[in-house]
């Protein structure tokens, strides 16, 4: 795992830790307010049931929200010369009050690649590969009390794969015969993953990992990318 992936995982851990501490502070405040309210409430003619009660805080969901995400991306097929890439995107979420909410998102992913030609050591083929996709996903949060809630996510999408190849040659060699024109094509794909949401005051943060399987062509193995994201939802 290279430096970019280590930095991304470190940053994700730091955000999650800071968010968890803030969420714990929010939960403690809610418990204190509940205790003060219970202490000031009139007790005449009522039965005290507080001994067996437990105080729980669960974040209220909004009907519509939006956010941004980004992080490191890894290519599933490691023999194609693609290194660790990066991605960034935006999304909108609709929560109709069902157990499952819906997320519509658009993401841009870029990988750089560099391959030494197998038959000609004087030629180096490289460039960048891009994955631009839009997905529609269902999100199911575990029914847990508290401001920290894990979730599962899965859905379908349209993926545009683009290649911007480049060829470099040592003195005396030639890249003649190797195309340097950009190419792109659209494909269908599915994705699934899991994450953890931390609800704060007015917004929430999350860390998630997802696997995208892209059907590039009949009879060939699907392309796959694994993005690890840190995001904010408002």
pLDDT category of residue 38 using cuts at 50, 70 and 90: very low
pTM, to two decimals: 0.71
- The arithmetic mean of pLDDT across residues 184-211, rounded, is 96
Specify whether the CB–CB gap between 102 and 139 falls below 8 A.
Answer: yes
Q: Is residue 166 part of a domain?
A: yes
Q: Which domain holds residue 96?
A: 3-41+51-233
Q: Is residue 104 part of a domain?
A: yes
Q: Is residue 46 part of a domain?
A: no
The total number of structural domains in the chain stands at: 1
* Residue 44 pLDDT: 45
Three state DSSP letters for 56-107:
CCECCCCCEEEEEEEEEEEECCCCCCECCEEEEEEEEEECCCCCEEEEEEEE
- The arithmetic mean of pLDDT across residues 42-68, rounded, is 57
Mean pLDDT is highest, among 19-28, 70-79, 83-92, 113-122, for: 83-92
CATH of the domain at 116: 2.40.160.20
* Residue 118 pLDDT: 52
* Residue 217 pLDDT: 72
Residue 100 has pLDDT above 80, yes or no: yes
Q: Is residue 156 part of a domain?
A: yes
Mean pLDDT is highest, among 6-10, 126-130, 183-187, 228-232, for: 228-232
CA distances from 105 to 1, 155, 176 (A): 27, 11, 41
């Amino acid at each position: 795992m290279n430096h970019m992936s280590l930095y991304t995982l470190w940053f994700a851990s730091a955000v999650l830790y800071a968010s968890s501490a803030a969420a714990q502070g929010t939960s403690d405040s809610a418990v204190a307010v509940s205790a003060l309210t219970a202490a000031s409430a009139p007790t005449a003619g009522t039965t005290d049931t507080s001994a067996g009660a437990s105080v729980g805080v669960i974040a209220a969901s909004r009907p519509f929200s939006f956010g941004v995400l980004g992080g490191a991306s890894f290519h599933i097929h490691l023999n194609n010369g693609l290194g660790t890439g990066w991605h960034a995107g935006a999304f909108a979420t609709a929560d109709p009050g069902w157990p499952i909410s819906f997320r519509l998102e658009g993401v841009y992913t870029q990988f750089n690649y560099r391959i030494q030609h197998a038959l000609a050591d004087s030629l180096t083929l490289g460039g960048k590969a891009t994955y631009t996709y839009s997905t529609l996903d269902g999100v199911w949060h575990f029914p847990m009390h508290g401001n920290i809630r894990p979730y599962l996510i899965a859905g379908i999408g349209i993926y545009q794969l683009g290649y911007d190849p480049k060829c470099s040659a040592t003195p005396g060699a030639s890249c003649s015969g190797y195309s340097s024109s950009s190419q792109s094509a659209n494909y269908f794909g599915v994705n699934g993953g899991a994450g953890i949401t931390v609800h704060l005051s007015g917004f929430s943060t999350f860390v998630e990992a997802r696997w995208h399987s892209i059907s590039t062509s009949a009879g060939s193995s699907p392309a796959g990318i694994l993005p690890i994201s840190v995001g904010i939802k408002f």
